[in-house]
Amino acid sequence: MRALKREKEALDRLGMDTKEIDARIREENGTYKEFCETYKIKPKTERLQYECGTSDLRKTMAWKRFDNSVAEDKKVITDTGLHDTMKISSGKENVEVHTVGRIDKDIYKCITEDITTDEVIITEERIAHIKERHPSDYERFYSYIPEIIKAPDYILKSTKPNTAMILKEIADEKEKFQLILRIKTSEDNKAFKNSIITFLKVNERTWNKYLRNKVILYTNK
């Protein structure tokens, strides 16, 4: 029972569906209860208790399957040339960056007319930030980034210069995403590219809130 509850905690942490394992836990509980009633045994409820946050979830089968899936996705993207890696110089350090796609300059000129490249990158530092703030979003959904930046549903005004919020719904998956993009202009370091600041999945309520409260610079609707 505790093993099943560990698997459920792992699925919850990864943001994955738990309906199947919830059903298995209910079934196990029912079986144990029936066993105790049949043989007149007092249930040992302490054996069924499980405290979240006390186990290494990376050892669960759910987490191992997830890691294998992510590794396979990364191989596919690398093989198709959507995630090229390079290093650029920024001050005293070399920053490792990944090319994730290209923008249509005609669409993004609503942010600024001064767009010097259509290439979009993400740095290792930003990837680490996304993984920390929005666990599992990057691993599960980063393959959608090229589509999101190429054909956004909405571009919303940001308070920061040459920066905007991109909203995109992936209809086939019925998922909505938010991406913050910084446009590279002629005033920036020549080695810089358009860069992703953050990326995450959002719910319907947050999506609608953004559309109500922020200035829409572009929409394809």
Predicted confidence (pLDDT) per residue in 145-158, tens digit: 999 999 999 999 99
Q: In terms of domains, do 143 and 188 share one?
A: yes
> Residue 55: pLDDT band by 50, 70, 90 thresholds?
confident
User: Is 115 within a domain?
Assistant: yes
Tell me: pLDDT of 86 over 70. Answer: no
* pLDDT number for residue 66: 61
Percent of all residues in the chain with a pLDDT value above 90, rounded to a whole number = 38
- Most confident range (mean pLDDT) of 113-122, 170-179, 189-198 is 113-122
* pLDDT number for residue 93: 52
User: Is 24 within a domain?
Assistant: yes
Kindly state the average pLDDT of the residues 194-214. 93
Residues 6+ apart with CB under 8 A from 152: 107, 166, 167, 168, 218, 220
Residue 127 is which amino acid? Answer: I
Q: Among residues 43, 67, 91, which one ends one of the domains?
A: 67
Q: In terms of domains, do 179 and 92 share one?
A: yes
Laid out side by side, the sheet with 216-219 consists of: 84-90, 93-102, 119-123, 194-202, 175-182, 163-170, 154-157, 216-219
Domain count, the chain: 2
* pLDDT number for residue 56: 77
Q: Among residues 10, 33, 67, which one ends one of the domains?
A: 67
Q: In terms of domains, do 59 and 99 share one?
A: no
Q: In terms of domains, do 123 and 55 share one?
A: no
CA dist 219 and 221 (Å) reads 5
Kindly state the tokens that stand for 141. Answer: 């959904």
Kindly state the tokens that stand for 195. Answer: 């860069």
User: Is 19 within a domain?
Assistant: yes
Domain region containing 212: 81-219
Q: In terms of domains, do 126 and 196 share one?
A: yes
Q: In terms of domains, do 47 and 94 share one?
A: no
* pLDDT number for residue 84: 47
Characterize the bridge pairing of strands 119-123 and 154-157. unpaired
* pLDDT number for residue 82: 43
- What's phi and psi for 133, nearest 5 deg? -80, -30
CA dist 207 and 10 (Å) reads 27
> Residue 165: pLDDT band by 50, 70, 90 thresholds?
very high
Tell me: pLDDT of 110 over 90. Answer: yes
Q: Which residues pair with 81 in a beta bridge?
A: none
Is-above-0.75 flag for pTM? no
Q: In terms of domains, do 132 and 204 share one?
A: yes
* pLDDT number for residue 46: 66
Of residues 107 and 174, the one with the higher pLDDT is 107
* pLDDT number for residue 14: 61
- Neighbouring CB atoms inside 10 A of 126's CB total 19
CA dist 65 and 86 (Å) reads 29
Q: Are 149 and 101 in contact (CB under 8 A)?
A: yes
User: Is 184 within a domain?
Assistant: yes
Of residues 34 and 117, the one with the higher pLDDT is 117
> Residue 85: pLDDT band by 50, 70, 90 thresholds?
very low
Residues 6+ apart with CB under 8 A from 98: 83, 84, 85, 86, 121, 122, 123, 124, 127
Specify the DSSP element, H or E, that contains 34. helix 19-38
